[in-house]
Chains A and B, each alone.
Chain A
């Protein structure tokens, strides 16, 4: 029995070593797109395995591998609040074999932390992959039912409302601060170590509000244990077509969307980027869209230029928010 277990373990080790060897970069001096890709493409995820970004990256890698003609694998490089993985790709060889599956944190962290990359200049954008509106969620006994009522309620009670977030500098935190800034209200930010514990306190009625993904909490909303006030997209979310946006609720220009996008190191040949983007477009099937929709994500493949515009706009948006936090 011991021998068997040992054999199983050794087998897995050998496999792992094999994968590691496959992932070693081949020094291709001719990075022309003719023979790209002729080696394993590695998508770096700056988070630990198992989170939403990791799961999406893995599904994406599977599909990309089918159309691009080379194995595509996911490499988790967590640590340093996404900085380890992000800087790893920013400094990687620009040959299209090391890519980054980045999120809002790519931009936010570059503004909050001391980083050695620039979110716009250090990367060649391959394309946006998914987007997701957040929901403005309140505890059910908070006597507001619309954005307008929420603003009035908060204005009458400066500093009394608490909004929870999954952490300092998270997209949820930024959305809340942006709401404060644009609505001109004062609320207290309460950071948690992840969305789970924050949600527990919202369900327990210890905090009042949260700007968070609707995924996994729709049952709480339909059963009345949480209240969905609005969604934060530019347009209504396809998952909740009956819920109005914050913009409709009287706060023009307010959007806070989480996104996931594929990046290559800057100076990656345009032909390689074009090939990767085409592969993204090719895998964008209704089946994949449905798979992502099940995780609350909207599959939204964009052109490289559009991803670049997004980054530039996001940097401006977050810059304003962070300045407003700092100026208090």
Chain B
């Protein structure tokens, strides 16, 4: 078996004391920046990149990769505890994870997130090892036509994401789409809705919107609520998931892993929608979809598994095609280039120790993450029993530092403040922010791919149904829409939520 020989080669490299040390440093740092709001892996890796010049290529890549998936992991901690999603992948974790925390199940939510992540990490590492070359061919078959249909599916998923009324969810998606239009348009190069504000040229910053809508708005609401009810919201029961929770989480983690592994391969937005898609999938197939949005265990396990799996498999296009699927991968390519390794299809053959060493180190890193984080669960949970008058100013301060560090300017802080006010208004109006964020992420991609697909087909719109992958994706979208719109189902859905509101 070639695969085993290769994995053996990889482990031989990855378990050298030096590489283990850098792997540990990477995941430790990654967890820390994931927990700190605003300071994402992109900023951290770019700051640390010059330091890796002195290292060999393998330890450098191992450490940078550790930061990346460690941050995916740490980001869910703040999402669960204080409703603060640090990046797009943890937005959905905040929906049900935070509700679990409010019900005193913070420990269980954190443990489930950790276990689902490490399971996904293990499986997707195996996927990377076994299928990299084959999967890179799949990535190449995805053109603008296919991406457009994928984004359509994602947007319909966004509507299902919400647990409130359908019309409000659609409204939120539309607001998100409009916000996504701000900035210089890729297709025409023309500035839209920038009002000559230079900082708006590259569009609104996702992290600023997410922080405003989730964290800032939530703090305002909690401070307001506390005037009437000065009790502690997060009474903590057991730290560990109970048997029922484990039973709900396990199959969700498996499904999330599969979905995330698949979507992560696509260069260009696949990883971004993996956790959203996993959430939608769980909610669709759940026997009790009404629990979603109110602390459903599967709503934490599925997306957490999916985003971790996608984080791993997003290395595939970078390693095998030399095409970065996101900003972090572009930096990793930069790190390889510094060491005179041109990323591309030849890396696996010309630098087998690098390729397999990196792949196996990801698995080792995942094990380290769980060893590092499971004991921490108890400490994290204590953190939210800190009185609000200390906790909230601290959160706000870290958010503001993080926001400033995105582009070294105060503009992002202002954006977050504005969206904090908007978010508070939305909470009062019982509108959910998650569909808005998904609309914001998918909108620009949807438009870009639609216009490019039509440009390439010289205006022939039938390409969307003549391309098989695209046709299948659109077919699934129609089915999803039908299940939402069919009157019988719809009545039931409203009934369910009506019950819950009373």
Residues on A close to B: CB < 8 A? 1-2, 5, 8-9, 13, 16, 48-52, 54-55, 58, 62, 75-81, 83-84, 87, 112-114, 162, 167-169, 188, 190-193, 196-197, 199-201, 203-204, 206-207, 215-220, 223, 225, 294-295
Contacts and interface: CB of A to CB of B under 8 A. Distances in A.
B135 interface: no
B143 interface: yes
B342 A8 contact: no
Contact of A219 (B338, B342, B372, B380): B342
A168 B408 contact: no
Contact of B35 (A5, A77, A207, A220): A5
A50 B186 contact: no
B189 A112 contact: yes
B49 A50 contact: yes
A167 B189 contact: yes
A92 to B, nearest CB: 15
Contact of A216 (B32, B343, B379): B343
B453 to A, nearest CB: 9
Contacts of B452: 190-192
A203 B184 contact: no
B158 to A, nearest CB: 21
Contacts of A218: 342
Nearest to B203: A79
B379 A200 contact: no
B342 A162 contact: no
Contacts of A223: 345-346
A92 B38 CA distance: 29
Given A1-B375, A84-B199, A203 B342 contact: no
Nearest to A113: B191
B198 A206 contact: no
Contact of A294 (B35, B337, B401): B337
The majority secondary structure among interface residues of chain B is helix
Contact of B187 (A2, A52, A112, A168): A168
A219 B327 contact: no
Nearest to B401: A13
Contacts of A76: 46, 407-408
Interface in B114-167: 139-144
Given A2-B376, A191-B186, A206-B143, A78 B202 contact: yes
Contacts, number: 154
13 contacts: A48-B327, A49-B47, A55-B334, A76-B408, A79-B201, A191-B189, A193-B448, A196-B323, A200-B140, A200-B323, A203-B140, A215-B337, A225-B345
Contacts of A197: 267-268, 323
A10 to B, nearest CB: 10
B342 A80 contact: no
Interface of B: 28-29, 31-33, 35-36, 42-43, 45-47, 49-50, 139-144, 184-189, 191, 196, 198-202, 267-268, 321-324, 327, 330-331, 333-334, 337-338, 340, 342-346, 372, 375-376, 379-380, 383, 401, 405, 407-409, 448, 452, 455-456
A-B CB proximity, top 5 nearest? A168-B189, A49-B46, A80-B201, A50-B331, A80-B198
Given A204-B140, A218-B342, A83 B198 contact: yes
B344 A219 contact: yes
Nearest to A116: B198
B181 to A, nearest CB: 15
A75 B330 contact: no
A295 B337 CA distance: 7
Contact of A79 (B32, B202, B327): B202
A167 B186 contact: yes
Contacts of A162: 456
Contacts of B334: 50-52, 55
B143 A204 contact: yes
Given A190-B455, A191-B186, A197-B267, A87 B327 contact: no
A196 B43 CA distance: 20
A55 B338 contact: yes
B143 A216 contact: no
B344 A217 contact: yes
**Which of A5, A51, A79, A114 gathers the greatest number of chain B CB atoms within 10 Å?**
A79
A65 to B, nearest CB: 12
Nearest to A169: B189
Nearest to A207: B456
Contacts of B268: 197, 200
A220 B321 CA distance: 9
A78 B407 contact: yes
A87 B201 CA distance: 14
B330 A51 contact: yes
Nearest to B329: A196
A1 B379 contact: yes
A192 B36 CA distance: 33
B32 A5 contact: yes
Given A49-B43, A200-B267, A219 B345 contact: yes
Contacts of A193: 186, 448
Nearest to A62: B50
B379 to A, nearest CB: 5
Contacts of A167: 186, 189
A220 B344 contact: yes
Contacts of A55: 49, 334, 337-338
A5 B189 contact: no
Nearest to A76: B408
Nearest to B202: A79
Contacts of A9: 32-33, 36
Contacts of B200: 80
B140 A81 contact: no
Nearest to A203: B140
Given A49-B47, A79-B201, A168-B186, A216 B267 contact: no
B456 A83 contact: no
A81 B202 contact: yes
B340 A294 contact: yes
